[in-house]
Amino acid sequence: MKNNNPYLITFDRIGSSQLGYITIAEAKKNTPFDIKRVYWTYYTPQDVTRGGHAHKKLNQIIFAVSGTITFNTEDKNGNTETFVLDHPNKGLFIPKLIWRDIQFSHNAVLMCLASELYDEADYFRSYEDFKSYEEQDHLSLIDYNEDFLEKSWNWLNDPEIKELTGTPDFTKESQKEWFSNLDRNETYFIKGISYNNQNIGVAGLKKIDRNNNNAEYFGYIGEKEYWGKGLSSQILSELVSIAKEKFGLSSLYLNVIPSNIRALRAYENFGFRIDCIENNNVRMTLKL
């Protein structure tokens, strides 16, 4: 229930009235998401109402680091709530698809922790558009089964996908042998990508190295009709959480060909940085 509705979070504070206090927010530790952006607003006149929008995908935690800030929220079913932020260690979690109007006391300062980078396309600026929006898209990582194995044969033998992924030639027999050994391969983690209940691709981690706490990310969408829909960031977010929580890794790396501009931009926007370029290959690393 809490994942779909706004709720207050009280963060620990350290210190004393004699010395002052500090409050700390840490991604995925005391916040329910990875923090990709932080912003703050200030000098908002007391008689101004801000907000007046909702988000399609963005999750936020908002603080009144000074003064008092009042939020009036509404979900798509018309359920309304009012939240008052009046202490610096009190945060309001606002998930996606929540309309909000905001009022500030004199000299109030708002600070926001956001789950995504700024994207104007993620906003509902019109209340009517927000209320009429029907969320249909659902992406998930599921068990890699024989259906994915068969589809992977076709996907990875498509000339365009084969080139973009750098896949070497392989036979059905070698593919079946690889599949039969998956359960015993501790350096390999693979999932199928399901989108609106259709199997569309594959993603995972390979060369998992627990000594160096890193692994290589790999992934592709085999059904080309789903290219360009911005699914890569969702897939990467899932794999990053798995890398940290399941395997305790501190970094991921990946390899991409220089001509795959779409992938390079998507990885850079997610936070990967180029390590080196050699032998027609770009190696990129993400610190977790």
Alpha helices in 133-231 (DSSP H): 146-156, 159-165, 172-180
In which region does residue 248 sit, left (phi positive, over 0), alpha (psi from -120 to 50) or beta (all else)?
left
If we measure between CA atoms, which residue out of 83, 110, 98, 90 comes closest to residue 30?
90
Give the span between the Cα atoms of 241 and 153, in whole angstroms.
Answer: 28
Give the span between the Cα atoms of 61 and 9, in whole angstroms.
Answer: 9
Residues 6 or more apart in contact with residue 68 via CB below 8 angstroms: 84, 85, 86, 104, 105, 108
Contact predicate 103/255, CB 8 Å: no
The torsion angles phi and psi of 176, rounded to 5 degrees, stand at -65, -35
Q: Which residue has the tokens 């990709």?
A: 36
CA 230 to chain centroid: 11
In which region does residue 52 sit, left (phi positive, over 0), alpha (psi from -120 to 50) or beta (all else)?
left
Per annotation, catalytic residue among 53, 55, 87, 106: 53
Q: Is 53 a catalytic residue?
A: yes
The SS3 call for residue 19 is coil
Give the active site residues.
53
